Chains A and B, each alone.
Chain A
Amino acid sequence: MKRLTQLASNWFDLPPEVVGTLPRVEWIGQQLQIENFIGVHQFNPDLLTLKTATGYLTVEGNSLVMEAIYPDRILLTGKISAVHMKNNE
């Protein structure tokens, strides 16, 4: 299934976030929206680590609040200072 969607994306030249399972991060001011995550690895007031298809996505900041968690996306607010990625090998 995964391979099939990848194939479709290559064939039809679609943007990968539309079809894929790749994480997509949208950062607007103090709000961060993360789509296509797999699970929550760690959650603290100053740290949120999410498991994604490509690796661990870490968000650092102060007084982080997850406004909403839907099955496919997270809305995060707070004083965000850094977003970094630890890729899978």
Chain B
Amino acid sequence: MRGGTVTIECVGQNISNLLDQIVQAKIVLKNVQWVSKEKVRITVFLSDIMQVWKYMKQYRVAGKMVKKSGPFFMFKKIKKRKFFVIGFSIFLFLLFFFSSFIWYVDVEGNEQLPDKHVLSILQKEGIYPGQLKVGLPNTDQLQRKLLKRIPNASWIGVRIEGTRIIVTVAEKKRVDSIGEKKLIRRPVDLISKKNAFIMDVRVFHGNPVVKVHDAVKKGQLLVSGTYGEATSPNKGPIVGAQGIVLGEVWYESEVVVPLKYVQNEYTGEKTRYTWPFVGPFVLSNPFSTPKPYAKSELMRRISALRIGKYQIPIGLVRDVYWSVRQVTYTRNHADAIALGKKRARLEMTNTIAPEGRILGEKVLHQRIDNGKVYLKIHFDVVENIAQEKPILQGD
């Protein structure tokens, strides 16, 4: 607050002597400049001003302060405009003061969970309007804590935007709403899909007629949808049958695996073409041949112009032709059989899904003919043999 410089205009006869005296006293001068004849303007540091003033009197040089600059004089000026400065500092203080509070707590992303529930939990964690922003817990910790408190949420995000805290809730999908669909009951019986040997009977509704280890024929009644005695139908009320009956079934599947097979392989060479397009028309050069290789695969990428979220039907089509060569491979016998078994097993699992499983398999027959391996495989599987059959109510 003491620094500053003063510019003085000196008028007098002995200016050269004055300057010499000042230099001898080891005082730093700046911008020594002649304004006119016998009038010199010098700039002195504020701390040296008294000394300079003394020498000026001694050499009878009249001085006049022209310019004052530096923090010392700034401070003096500020003292004059006291109220303005006070007002401004109060304004700044209030700005910082009020922006260091949380004024809004927003909850978003919740569908089933009411806002009030989330807000009350937040209040327990110490987040409510009027809370100081400084004392807030770490957002990561907060997210973990909230997730513990709200078991219906699968993820919770907390972020601070200025004086607003936004809590994003991602709710869990409720399991029972998916399960309810299965429980629609229809007036049906369950009958057997095919000849089988019962392994397991799981009945949700209805009256089971068969037992485990029974042998059933195709079309035989497994679970009755009529309430009451199964032996005397058409008497009780119809409740509808529902359940899974697992039966052991035999399958025979045939697989053919060629010993020679052809595969397409990329050679690694490629050619790129870029054409502009307008609407459905690609503006390509009609004279250039777009097929550079004997065999190739085309990968087309379209990048269209976009303004905001609107797509404009003008853009570039980028075609890449990948060179492909065909290679013939031969499998040996054992590999072909293994592959055939694998394929058959996969096919089997797909047909008996989701309840079924394979109990055992056996290759019945295998032969090589015309460069192909023919396999006949027997599968012993367990699958759901129950089939719904509507109960016809007599007229």
Within 8 A of A (CB), among B9-34: 15-16, 19-20, 22-24, 26, 28-34
Residues of A within 8 A of B34 (CB): 44-45, 63-65
Residues of A within 8 A of B26 (CB): 71
Residue A42 at the chain B interface, CB threshold 8 Å: yes
Residues of A within 8 A of B33 (CB): 65-66
Q: Tell me whether A42 and B23 are in contact in the complex, defined as CB-CB below 8 angstroms, given that A65-B33, A67-B30 are known contacts.
A: no
Cross-chain contact B16 with A68 (CB below 8 angstroms): no
Cross-chain contact A66 with B29 (CB below 8 angstroms): yes
Interface majority SS on B: helix, strand, loop or mixed? mixed
A66 (CB) vs chain B CBs: closest residue = B32
Q: How far is the CA of A40 from the CA of B26 in the complex (A)?
A: 12
Partner of A43, one of B19, B28, B30, B31: B19
Residue A69 at the chain B interface, CB threshold 8 Å: yes
Interface majority SS on A: helix, strand, loop or mixed? strand
Partner of B28, one of A45, A64, A70: A70
B37 (CB) vs chain A CBs: closest residue = A45
A-B contact count (CB 8 A): 45
Q: How far is the CA of A79 from the CA of B255 in the complex (A)?
A: 106
Q: Tell me whether A69 and B20 are in contact in the complex, defined as CB-CB below 8 angstroms, given that A44-B34, A45-B34 are known contacts.
A: no
Instruction: Bin chain A's interface residue count.
Output: 10 to 19
B41 (CB) vs chain A CBs: closest residue = A65
What distance in Å separates the Cβ of A87 from its nearest Cβ neighbour in chain B? 20
Residues of A within 8 A of B28 (CB): 68-71
B17 (CB) vs chain A CBs: closest residue = A40
What distance in Å separates the Cβ of B108 from its nearest Cβ neighbour in chain A? 65
* Residue with the greatest number of chain B CB neighbours at <10 A, chosen from A40, A42, A44, A63: A40
B22 (CB) vs chain A CBs: closest residue = A69
Q: How far is the CA of A51 from the CA of B65 in the complex (A)?
A: 29
Cross-chain contact B32 with A43 (CB below 8 angstroms): yes
Cross-chain contact B16 with A42 (CB below 8 angstroms): yes
Q: How far is the CA of A41 from the CA of B23 in the complex (A)?
A: 11
What distance in Å separates the Cβ of A18 from its nearest Cβ neighbour in chain B? 21
A76 (CB) vs chain B CBs: closest residue = B32
Q: How far is the CA of A67 from the CA of B31 in the complex (A)?
A: 4
Q: How far is the CA of A75 from the CA of B30 in the complex (A)?
A: 9
Cross-chain contact A40 with B30 (CB below 8 angstroms): no
Q: How far is the CA of A67 from the CA of B26 in the complex (A)?
A: 16
Additional pairs, 16, CB under 8 Å, beyond known A43-B19, A71-B28: A39-B23, A41-B16, A41-B20, A42-B16, A43-B15, A43-B16, A43-B40, A65-B32, A65-B34, A67-B31, A68-B29, A68-B30, A68-B31, A69-B19, A69-B29, A69-B30
Chain B residues within CB distance 8 Å of chain A: 15-16, 19-20, 22-24, 26, 28-34, 40
Chain A residues within CB distance 8 Å of chain B: 39-45, 63-71
Q: Which 4 A-B pairs have the closest CB atoms?
A: A66-B32, A71-B26, A69-B29, A45-B34
